[in-house]
Structure 1
């Protein structure tokens, strides 16, 4: 039987659209690969704002991927303790984590820059620096040795300075004060004569109630009301010099991320950006209502830190950041990048955001 060149060509192809080749409609009918991930957090399960952000992130990923990537969220202590999130994701115990970079300052001192720098960038400026000023690239370079890929995963806006059981009228009132205050703010507080104590959010109430600590900063009215701090502390101070633009992080195990097809990686990135902005929107909307309740219903005394105290804290902050920048070349590059960006941002915001607030205040 004579075989034509067309038949030979057809036979040389994989099935030429036949049953064995699984091409065309048959191939399209094959189910796409699915993935199941674990996401561990430093927050109590479903805690308002902070704890719900990873939940919403996971829901969005599932919806956008049509169920191809399902992420189960574990609160602090459910799978790993709050302060073991970094190691769990680095080692692959969980594919993802949600927390704050300054919790890992003992392991990576420069990680604190990616949560907040005292008297540094605010939320709007942090987001801009990370996504358009080279900050995210520096962050990923810092985490590269730990097998992690970080994304911005939320921001609460400028926080409160914290809850105190004594009035702060001068720097002398800080001497000997034991305060839950992490990150660079904690280092500054210690240099100012106080004592920085590390506690997860779920441990703060009991620590203050038992007198283990004298003061604590957490977030702001929305979260502080939920934790009931007004029941154990009398004075609520502002402004949050220690965390002006506190950025939270979503960290992903590098191998887990690279195992995803391109479209799912893009979905993860988009969902992270949405979670980051959504948290800032929520805190902007909810903080003032919570503050009103704290003052009018619970009788909380809201006080401003004295100007001379803020000036001294800023002086110490500059010294602490300078010392960290001198520790290694990457820390210096991060510091220099942030400071250049802050200077540029301040120049424009002086005639835009700041000028507008002043103008609106005249109404």
Structure 2
């Protein structure tokens, strides 16, 4: 069998397992790329996914393909990733796509929307549904090729100086909320603030904002939000399963060999899985520590959830009527969500409901 035919048939994992990779790697060019992240180095979970990605690319190519990883602000601002990758300033960016909803609301569908897919559903839509194809079609207009870059799982609902006792408490609330969710918060009477993760604490401490959400206990504890806003809400209805992405400049990607393209995909899949695993493993202990230290947990009241849901669905209908890009992707996304929720209602939810009521 010819070497290239073998590679196409076996894939990169098969090649490595067969022990034939060194000869193939030697045929590839030495490459050095730069990756710009939207996140600070202190957040080893979310920033760490980019480090895992870069490390795996190096390992899978015998050190020939090296990617240096740079935190937010080193090469460009946290919210400058799309512009930087699009222009070719860097070859790769690691970010939350919904940060860029101001360019087009469709970006949010590649990450998370209020009352959207959970993390497993999002991955399923991407790898087995039409998600990856539809988002790649959309990102092509920005000179970007996207790869899955992690998922945090369902997030918490943020930190508040005062607890939210009803929907009326959102009126005038200056709330740091990531990306697209701010559109719904605004419709609920709130005043959304889109602030990078590394700047949230100072804004909360100074009183520039009344409340802030980030991800969940492990990261939130590192950022110290509990020190300035003791009330911790759940669930984060705007982020049931937010997916991070690696954005690769299309020209740089097209210049890669088939083998190096396969390496990028393999490395992104590893980083995607590891991020979710890290959050699921580290959040429980952090939540226990926060509560032991005086954090006051509360669940969003029913009227908050119902108003948020109503305004979210109304927003999606309005966007479908005026944004063709959104409609094309959202129609497929919504159908997948309905089918997936029907299945999860029986198996996953039934099992989880029972297990979480037990004293283990």
Q: TM-score, normalised by structure 2?
A: 0.90
Task: Summarize the Cα distance change of 1:362–1:104 in structure 2 as closer, same or farther, 3 Å threshold.
Answer: closer
Q: Which residue does the alignment assign to 1:164?
A: 160
Note if contact 2:205-2:228 (Cα within 8 Å) is conserved in structure 1: yes
Q: Which residue does the alignment assign to 2:178?
A: 182
Q: Aligned residue pairs: how many?
A: 336
Note if contact 1:110-1:324 (Cα within 8 Å) is conserved in structure 2: no
Which of 193, 196, 202 matches 1:200? 196
Residue 362 of structure 1 and its aligned partner are, at CA, apart by 5.7
Matched, 1:52 2:16: no
Q: In structure 2, the residue corresponding to 1:240 is in which secondary structure? A: coil
Q: Which residue does the alignment assign to 1:333?
A: 328
Matched, 1:229 2:225: yes
Alignment of 1:67-82 (within 5 A): 67-82=63-78
Matched, 1:274 2:264: no
Residue 329 of structure 1 and its aligned partner are, at CA, apart by 2.3
Name structure 1 gaps, 5 residues minimum.
Answer: 1-26
Task: Summarize the Cα distance change of 1:249–1:31 in structure 2 as closer, same or farther, 3 Å threshold.
Answer: closer
Residue 103 of structure 1 and its aligned partner are, at CA, apart by 1.0
**Larger mean Cα displacement after TM superposition, 309-318 or 348-357:** 348-357
Note if contact 1:46-1:52 (Cα within 8 Å) is conserved in structure 2: no
Residue 30 of structure 1 and its aligned partner are, at CA, apart by 7.5
Which of 308, 312, 326 matches 1:313? 308
Residue 260 of structure 1 and its aligned partner are, at CA, apart by 1.0
Name structure 2 gaps, 5 residues minimum.
Answer: 1-22
Matched, 1:144 2:144: no
Q: Which residue does the alignment assign to 1:131?
A: 127
Alignment of 1:256-275 (within 5 A): 256-275=252-271
Q: Which residue does the alignment assign to 2:4?
A: none
Q: In structure 1, the residue corresponding to 2:346 is in which secondary structure? A: coil
State the structure with more CA Rg: 1
User: Residues 96-131 of structure 1: CA distance to partner in whole angstroms, max 9, x if unpaired?
Assistant: 000110111111221011111111110000000011
Task: Summarize the Cα distance change of 1:78–1:361 in structure 2 as closer, same or farther, 3 Å threshold.
Answer: closer
Note if contact 1:46-1:55 (Cα within 8 Å) is conserved in structure 2: no
The CA RMSD measured in Å over matched residues stands at 1.6
Which runs of structure 1 show a deviation greater than 6 angstroms over 4 or more consecutive aligned residues?
Answer: 27-31
Q: How far apart, in 2, do the equivalents of 1:232 and 1:140 lie? A: 41
Q: How far apart, in 2, do the equivalents of 1:260 and 1:29 lie? A: 13
Q: In structure 1, the residue corresponding to 2:322 is in which secondary structure? A: coil
User: Residues 244-271 of structure 1: CA distance to partner in whole angstroms, max 9, x if unpaired?
Assistant: 1111110000011111111111010011
Q: Which residue does the alignment assign to 2:11?
A: none
Which of 22, 27, 30 matches 1:34? 30
Residue 233 of structure 1 and its aligned partner are, at CA, apart by 0.5
Q: In structure 2, the residue corresponding to 1:66 is in which secondary structure? A: coil
Q: In structure 1, the residue corresponding to 2:238 is in which secondary structure? A: coil
Q: How far apart, in 1, do the equivalents of 2:255 and 2:75 lie? A: 23
Q: How far apart, in 2, do the equivalents of 1:30 and 1:362 lie? A: 56
User: Residues 12-51 of structure 1: CA distance to partner in whole angstroms, max 9, x if unpaired?
Assistant: xxxxxxxxxxxxxxx9998641110000010012522111
User: Residues 154-204 of structure 1: CA distance to partner in whole angstroms, max 9, x if unpaired?
Assistant: 100000010001111111111111011132311110110010011000010
Q: Which residue does the alignment assign to 1:357?
A: 352
Q: How far apart, in 1, do the equivalents of 2:24 and 2:340 lie? A: 50
Note if contact 2:170-2:190 (Cα within 8 Å) is conserved in structure 1: yes
Task: Summarize the Cα distance change of 1:90–1:193 in structure 2 as closer, same or farther, 3 Å threshold.
Answer: same
Q: How far apart, in 1, do the equivalents of 2:25 and 2:330 lie? A: 52
**Larger mean Cα displacement after TM superposition, 235-244 or 316-325:** 316-325
